[in-house]
Amino acid sequence: MATRLIHRSCFTTLLLVLLFATGHSGHAQTAAPAGPAATSTSQPAPSAYALPPDKLAKAITLTRIRTAIGFADTGWGILSMLLLIVLGVPAKFRDWAVAASKYRWVQCLIFVPLFFLTTTIVGLPLDLYSQHIERAYGQSVQGWPSWTGDQFKSLLLSFVIGVLIVMLLFWVIRKSPKRWWLWFWLASLPIIALLVFIAPVVIDPIFDKFEPLQQSDPALVTRLEEVVHRGGMVIPPERMFLMKASAKYTGINAYVTGFGASKRVVVWDTSISKATPDEISFIFGHEMGHYVLNHIYKTMGFIAGLLLVMLCLAYYSVHWLVRRFGAAWKIPSVDDWAALAILMLILSVFSFLSEPMLNAYSRAHEHAADVYGQEVIHGIVANPQQVARASFQLLGESYLDDPNPRPFIEFWTYSHPSTAHRAAFAASYNPWAPGQKPKYFPPEK
């Protein structure tokens, strides 16, 4: 339930490859406060979440640095892609690929890794600086060899998935020049579903170590089964996993991932070491809320709809740019391999512009999960309000979250409501008080 999502979402792997979206990969948020929308947007009570002076100064500075890095990364990604196009780099890679073989699949195997490697190198300085900042402020304990290894794994994964997706994209473009955006969107839906399904069992273990929670902490599993029973759900212990996050991170987190047979709840070992059993029950209840409220399926549908709009707009944009600048850029047609750079440039811009909408959607889900989390532990912990508020205090201190982020930054970049809003809501939310009623559970008689 950390404010930043460190685990890798599967459908995001597809979106990352084509730069459909950037906010869900890497560091993002995974949990949020719950309750009515009006409450979640109200000003937080000053005492709900606060930091001592030394931590507050660090939190403010770190938030500013992270915000600057985030916007700089987006801006540099767009600018560098344009520079590569103008300098003829994609066209040169295309020439090498075409000269190497007459077979399109061989050309793709040459062009895509070259192009992805180049864009990775171009973005490497900001990635290195970001990791340096996380280490300097105690957010990461991951050594540089391990970090470098993760970058190589990500690059190789993008090669494998990217080659397949790009090959499919250009095959569709050639088969249907006027409707490729629609056919590719239809083809992408099962790919997105497949990636979401396999991520917990194939992709995530590439980067982090997981083990059944029952194996490492059976007493905690017994406690969590009380929460499951209270929610009337069936989440067997074999779907509860512990992630060895302490090898890389200092923050606390938990998340729900996968769907169908691969759906599972993951709790970081840092959460277990730093939080009380009551707080872990709330953290788990929040993630169970995602599980119960079908947020993964709903998010997949939302992403699919957004992807359709973006591809349609990209169709008109890429054709216009090729007609207008194709000769100067040595990219004669949309089905030219080098046109991938133009498409990625366009989608990078659309992704940035759509970020507030994606984050607003995420904040709504996270808020609902927090409502559910606080309600589901009623009767299991002595004081759900205090436990939830204390959980957010621990969360904020762990990640050095600014208690008073700027409204614009929260609107544009936060995939969760701020920790201050979450803590304020938790402290005030008591649906079992006279005249009130819970949202997800029947009122007590």
Nearest C-alpha neighbor of 173 from the set 89, 104, 256: 104
- Paired with 378 in beta bridges are 381
3-state SS assignment for residue 48: coil
pLDDT tens-digit series, residues 101-125: 999 999 999 999 999 999 999 999 9
What is the spatial distance between Cα 71 and Cα 268, in angstroms, rounded to a whole number?
A: 29
Active-site residue list: 287
pLDDT tens-digit series, residues 177-235: 999 999 999 999 998 888 889 999 999 999 999 999 999 899 999 999 999 999 988 88
pLDDT tens-digit series, residues 366-422: 999 999 999 999 999 999 999 999 999 999 999 999 999 999 999 999 999 999 999
pLDDT for 35 beyond 90: no
Report yes or no on 303 lying in a domain. yes
- Paired with 242 in beta bridges are 211, 267
Per the CB < 8 A criterion, the answer to whether 286 and 370 are in contact is: yes
pLDDT tens-digit series, residues 423-437: 999 999 999 999 899
Total domains in the fold of the chain: 1
Report yes or no on 443 lying in a domain. no
Report yes or no on 3 lying in a domain. no
Per the CB < 8 A criterion, the answer to whether 270 and 397 are in contact is: no
pLDDT for 15 beyond 50: no
Tell me 411's DSSP state.
Answer: H
pLDDT tens-digit series, residues 84-98: 999 999 999 999 999
Per the CB < 8 A criterion, the answer to whether 26 and 7 are in contact is: no
Distance from chain centroid for Cα 91: 32
pLDDT for 245 beyond 90: yes
pLDDT for 22 beyond 60: no
What is the spatial distance between Cα 257 and Cα 291, in angstroms, rounded to a whole number?
A: 9
Per the CB < 8 A criterion, the answer to whether 169 and 187 are in contact is: no
Per the CB < 8 A criterion, the answer to whether 2 and 251 are in contact is: yes
Tell me 44's DSSP state.
Answer: P
pLDDT for 30 beyond 90: no
Q: What's the rounded mean pLDDT across residues 301-308?
A: 91
Report yes or no on 442 lying in a domain. no
Tell me 245's DSSP state.
Answer: G
Report yes or no on 437 lying in a domain. no
* Helices (H), ranges, 275-383: 277-292, 295-329, 339-376
- Long-range CB pairs of 109-118 (<8 Å, 24+ gap) are 109/163, 111/337, 111/340, 112/159, 112/162, 112/163, 112/166, 112/340, 113/159, 113/162, 113/163, 115/90, 115/340, 115/341, 116/155, 116/158, 116/159, 116/162, 117/155, 118/84, 118/89, 118/93
pLDDT tens-digit series, residues 40-49: 334 444 468 9
Q: What's the rounded mean pLDDT across residues 60-84?
A: 96
Distance from chain centroid for Cα 406: 21
pLDDT at 381: 95
What is the spatial distance between Cα 103 and Cα 262, in angstroms, rounded to a whole number?
A: 37
What is the spatial distance between Cα 362 and Cα 414, in angstroms, rounded to a whole number?
A: 9
- Radius of gyration of the chain measured on its C-alpha atoms: 23
Report yes or no on 440 lying in a domain. no
Query: Considering only 1-15, 150-164, 169-183, which range has the smallest mean pLDDT?
Result: 1-15
pLDDT at 445: 56
What is the spatial distance between Cα 382 and Cα 293, in angstroms, rounded to a whole number?
A: 25
> 16 falls in which pLDDT band (50, 70, 90)?
very low
Report yes or no on 441 lying in a domain. no
Sequence-ordered list of residues with C-beta below 8 angstroms from that of 337, at least 6 positions apart, any chain: 90, 93, 94, 97, 98, 107, 108, 111, 170
> 244 falls in which pLDDT band (50, 70, 90)?
very high
Nearest C-alpha neighbor of 37 from the set 288, 397, 371: 371
Task: Compute φ and ψ for 212, nearest 5 degrees.
Answer: -60, 135
Which tokens is 227 given? 């929460």
Average of per-residue pLDDT values in the chain: 88
Cα–Cα distance list, 163 to 18, 94, 96, 175, 370 (Å): 11, 14, 16, 18, 39
What is the spatial distance between Cα 375 and Cα 292, in angstroms, rounded to a whole number?
A: 13
pLDDT for 69 beyond 80: yes
pLDDT at 96: 98
pLDDT at 10: 35
pLDDT tens-digit series, residues 321-334: 999 999 999 999 99
Which tokens is 429 given? 């939310």
Per the CB < 8 A criterion, the answer to whether 358 and 25 are in contact is: no
pLDDT at 235: 86
pLDDT at 335: 96
CB-count exposure of residue 420 (10 Å: 0-12, 13-18, 19+): buried
pLDDT for 21 beyond 60: no
Nearest C-alpha neighbor of 152 from the set 111, 129, 120: 120
| % of the chain with per-residue pLDDT over 90 | 79
Per the CB < 8 A criterion, the answer to whether 420 and 44 are in contact is: yes
What is the spatial distance between Cα 67 and Cα 409, in angstroms, rounded to a whole number?
A: 8
Sign of CA dihedral 339, 343, 344, 349: positive
Q: What's the rounded mean pLDDT across residues 276-304?
A: 92
Q: What's the rounded mean pLDDT across residues 258-286?
A: 93
> 443 falls in which pLDDT band (50, 70, 90)?
confident
Q: What's the rounded mean pLDDT across residues 134-149?
A: 97
pLDDT for 12 beyond 50: no
In this structure, the chain runs to a length of: 445
Q: Which domain holds residue 296?
A: 10-428
Q: What is the pTM of this model?
A: 0.87
